[in-house]
């Protein structure tokens, strides 16, 4: 038997929703379309997700992407409202990033929802120049290399939209030009943990064999991390990326489907919302990976410190799957490749 392995980037973002049709209409704005639909009884959902509720799910596809998909999950008896509008810096949080060539139109859409009295949390769009060592750009003569970043959270969706100008990454999401907001599949998904939990990140590197890259950002007034996260002056944001580096990838190459984990050295006042971002809740509540040798992978994650590991079961789409909590407390489901 070969060693069990993660296949590709993050496969799905699982989102608890009260109405599948309404949610599908919303995600179509960002280029997602309905794919397979399936159901589990309350007993079956209890075995796989630990939730005593019948479940109906729809997998949303994005062009030809084989990762960064959406799993809409309608529970007959949701456990709770989920994360709501908590900011990025909240431990237990989840969010997803995508490219869009219509970031200002997304901002207009968010403003129109706010004007109707709907709950919306936004930051930006924020200007972020792309600087290269030794390169000086003249804005009167040169095309301005930058990103515009927009935070757009609603009770059941947590977007970070990025529009790139004169600076693109060809393997980092493919824009769907036929949808309203000309958006890509998710380029990365995020988690946030307390700084004291740093050792628990070894699980993603050592057990899942994802390639890890760490970088620190010291917050200064007006900087993009300070505004987006948000951070106070002098706080330190520690960012760990976990990628599926493939044979032949050049150094520094970025592929969509990245897992990004934040740690913040500032005071979180003890808040941790990880219980609200687990399966059974509304909103962002699940990430999945596809894996080979699923039974052996179950043994591997158990030995690596995961808890609440279920038996391998058939999920609502007929795939062999199992669920668990990683050492940092986050809920995952792995699907047989």
> 65 in a domain, yes or no?
yes
> 208 in a domain, yes or no?
yes
306 pairs with which residues across the strands? none
> 30 in a domain, yes or no?
yes
Looking at the chain, how many residues does it have? 337
Angle at 164 between CA 158 and CA 170, to 5 degrees: 95
122 pairs with which residues across the strands? 152
Region class of 8: left (phi > 0), else alpha (psi between -120 and 50), else beta: left
pLDDT in the model for residue 144: 82
Overall number of domains in the chain? 1
> 60 in a domain, yes or no?
yes
User: Are 190 and 261 spatial neighbours (Cβ–Cβ below 8 Å)?
Assistant: yes
Omega before residue 230 within 30° of 0, cis: yes
pLDDT in the model for residue 228: 81
> 1 in a domain, yes or no?
no
Q: Which residues does the chain have with pLDDT short of 50?
A: none
pLDDT in the model for residue 112: 97
pLDDT digits (tens, 9 = 90+) for 289-302: 999 999 999 999 99
> 129 in a domain, yes or no?
yes
pTM of whole model > 0.85?
Answer: yes
Domain that holds residue 49: 6-336
- Residue 10 sits in a domain whose CATH number is 3.10.180.10
Which DSSP string corresponds to 194-245? EGGGGGGGHIIIIIT--EEEEEEEE--TT-HHHHHTT--TT-EEEEEEEE--
């Amino acid at each position: 038997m070969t060693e069990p392995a993660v296949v590709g980037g993050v496969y799905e973002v699982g989102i608890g929703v009260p109405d599948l049709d309404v949610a599908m209409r919303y995600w179509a704005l960002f280029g997602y379309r309905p794919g397979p639909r399936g159901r589990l009884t309350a007993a079956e959902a209890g075995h796989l997700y630990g939730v005593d509720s019948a479940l109906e799910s729809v997998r949303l596809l994005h062009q030809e992407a084989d990762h960064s998909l959406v799993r809409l999950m309608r529970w007959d008896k949701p456990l709770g409202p989920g994360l709501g509008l908590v900011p990025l810096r909240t431990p237990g949080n989840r969010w997803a990033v995508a490219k869009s060539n219509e970031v200002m139109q997304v901002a207009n859409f968010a403003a129109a929802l706010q004007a109707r009295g709907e709950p919306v949390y936004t930051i930006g769009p924020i200007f972020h120049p792309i600087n290269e060592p030794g390169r000086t750009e003249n804005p009167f003569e040169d095309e301005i290399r930058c990103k515009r970043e927009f935070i757009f959270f609603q009770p059941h969706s947590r977007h970070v939209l990025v529009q790139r100008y004169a600076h693109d990454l060809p393997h980092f999401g493919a824009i769907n030009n036929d949808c309203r907001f000309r958006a890509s599949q998710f380029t990365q998904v995020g988690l946030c943990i307390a700084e004291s939990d740093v050792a628990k990140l070894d699980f993603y590197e050592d057990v899942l064999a994802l390639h890890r890259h760490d970088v620190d950002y010291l917050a200064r007034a007006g900087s993009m991390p300070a505004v987006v996260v948000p951070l106070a002056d002098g706080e330190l944001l520690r960012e760990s990326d976990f990628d599926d580096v493939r044979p032949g990838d050049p150094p520094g190459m970025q592929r969509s489907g990245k897992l990004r984990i934040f740690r913040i050295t500032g005071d979180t006042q003890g808040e941790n919302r990880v219980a609200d971002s687990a399966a059974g809740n509304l909103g962002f509540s699940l990430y999945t990976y596809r894996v080979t040798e699923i039974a052996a992978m179950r043994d591997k994650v158990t030995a690596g410190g995961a808890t609440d590991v279920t038996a391998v079961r058939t999920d609502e789409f007929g795939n062999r799957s199992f669920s668990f909590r990683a050492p940092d407390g986050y809920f995952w489901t792995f699907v047989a490749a």
